[in-house]
Amino acid sequence: MINAVPVILCGGSGTRLWPLSRTGFPKQFLCLTGDESLFQQAAKRLMGVGNSSIQVAAPIIVTGEEHRFLAAEQLREGNIPLGSALLEPVGRNTAPALTLAAYAAIQNGEDPVLVVAPADQTVKDVAAFISAIQSAIEQAAQGSIVVLGVTPSRPETGYGYIQVEKGDVPAGTTAVTHTVKRFVEKPNVAIAQAYVNEGGYFWNAGMFVLKASVWLKALEHFRPDIHQATARAWHHRHTDPNLSTSFVRPRKSEFASIPAESVDYAVMEHCPGSTFPIHMVPLDAGWNDLGAWDAVWNVLPKDQYGNAHVGDVLTTDSRDNLVHATSRLVSLVGVNGLIVVETPDAVLVADKARSQDVKHIVAQLQKSQREEYSAHRKVRRPWGWYDSVDEGERFKVKRIQVNPGASLSLQKHHHRAEHWVVVKGTAEITRGSETQLLTENQSTYIPLGEVHRLANPGSIPLEIIEVQSGSYLGEDDIVRLQDAYGRRK
């Protein structure tokens, strides 16, 4: 029996899919193609690769500190178990991320096959995907490094390529695999067309299958600096106590010193011709990495005029557009080849052929320190969510939903008072030394500086309207005294 552990890389901000994707809620957690997020789809695909000879363990996820509860909650919603969540204090690209996962996988004396995949890809043919991954696992169990290569359907300039030795089929495998000859950087159009015409070139899907020990040995061989620095950060890790989810944090001071490098640059590109055998399994499963809005348009269903619609959309005399409406009706008249994305606080209109340039708008937002760069109007929290409905000078109105059995932290504010009105469910209110229950249409007042907590003791979601008033209404005006989720800020 081969033991396999999915490793899902959940980093990145997906800036080219703004305004839907933002640093506080990046694209891997969005439902872009169906009712499940890209992250949930990736986890379910990987959990489905088990068979009579492959046993699949609960996945290891590698993500950032600010996305830990979001990732854990999406796994819970999808009934997907979580092995552990490794929290990067700062981004250091995929090589250190995979190294953390390898250490987590071998800490109990085991040496499983790691099935490493990004969280933000789509696959149309899940059966074909599973078959390819199973073949890769069988090969990796013998000590090889295996990459997945997507059969190219066009001369794509946005992907790196893998060149393989044509006709090479290693013994002992159940599907065709090839020896990797070299990795090629993103080409221009002419070179990409030459690759497609020649054959033997595949898109690099960024998915890797290999034993945990093989990765650590290869990294130590090719990049001992990354290996040693990541080992130090792992040795000084910290695990949150008294939480249902295993959040593991490498120490920030050591992790920040790790050179930022990708899996490809650190190891994979050096393997052909070395003592580390590397093979490629072809993947022909309708793969897409959804790097920009034009890629989203490619995978969505379309009407007879080539328009892809999400949400409340009307079009007339318009062709080949993508319209994504979140909170209101969006109408198009007499336009072609546009991307139109509407959210409650921002609207994007772009030429579909220039989808990659959305990142320039995001750069301007970041430089101006605008909230639309990082957060949506509706913000997810481990206890539920809040939606900032309205605000003005010295006031802000929020709609707040608290999940059954959940509670906000015991806290106080230095600069604002709060009025709460219950519109659905039952609220347990702590105010100073007093605790009371409020039901629909009842309200309370939290004076400035008063210690307080909002909790939902019921079995249905609690919804309240909160009106804040004061001289400063920023989200950083929270002093947490107790918190069920281990948050310090």
Write the pLDDT tens digit of every residue in 393-436. Answer: 999 999 999 999 999 999 999 999 999 999 999 999 999 999 99
With bands split at pLDDT 50, 70 and 90, how would you rate the model's confidence at 243?
low
Distance CA(367)–CA(388), nearest Å, equals: 23
The yes-or-no verdict on residue 256 having pLDDT over 60 is yes
Prediction pTM value? 0.88
Classify domain 2-288 by CATH architecture: Alpha-Beta Complex (3.90)
The answer to whether 44 and 80 have CB atoms below 8 angstroms apart is yes
For 54-74, what is the mean pLDDT? 93
pLDDT digits (tens, 9 = 90+) for 198-230: 889 999 999 999 999 999 999 999 999 999 999
Domain boundaries along the sequence of the chain? 2-288, 293-365, 378-482
pLDDT at residue 244, as a whole number = 60
With bands split at pLDDT 50, 70 and 90, how would you rate the model's confidence at 245?
low
pLDDT at residue 173, as a whole number = 41
Cα–Cα distance list, 62 to 11, 73, 133, 137, 394 (Å):
7, 15, 20, 21, 40
Distance CA(421)–CA(237), nearest Å, equals: 43
Q: What percent of the chain has pLDDT over 70?
A: 97
pLDDT at residue 175, as a whole number = 52
Q: What percent of the chain has pLDDT over 90?
A: 83
Cα–Cα distance list, 92 to 11, 64, 100 (Å):
10, 11, 11
The yes-or-no verdict on residue 170 having pLDDT over 50 is no
Distance CA(210)–CA(208), nearest Å, equals: 7
Cα–Cα distance list, 477 to 36, 66, 69, 260, 416 (Å):
34, 18, 21, 33, 8
Q: Which of 102, 118, 164 is nearest to 26 (CA)?
A: 118
The yes-or-no verdict on residue 171 having pLDDT over 60 is no
The yes-or-no verdict on residue 174 having pLDDT over 60 is no
For 143-153, what is the mean pLDDT? 94
Contacts 24+ apart (CB under 8 A), 385-392: 386/466, 387/344, 391/473
Average pLDDT for the chain: 92
pLDDT digits (tens, 9 = 90+) for 6-15: 999 998 777 8
With bands split at pLDDT 50, 70 and 90, how would you rate the model's confidence at 98?
very high
What does the DSSP 8-state code read for residue 478?
-
Choose the weakest-confidence range: 30-44, 160-174, 412-426: 160-174
Q: In what order do the strands lie in the sheet with 395-402?
A: 378-381, 384-392, 395-402, 462-470, 416-424, 443-446
Same fold, 2-288 and 378-482: no
Neighbours of 358 (CB within 10 A): 21
pLDDT at residue 33, as a whole number = 85
Distance CA(45)–CA(50), nearest Å, equals: 10
Q: What is the CATH number of domain 378-482?
A: 2.60.120.10
pLDDT digits (tens, 9 = 90+) for 322-351: 999 999 999 999 999 999 999 999 999 999
The yes-or-no verdict on residue 299 having pLDDT over 60 is yes
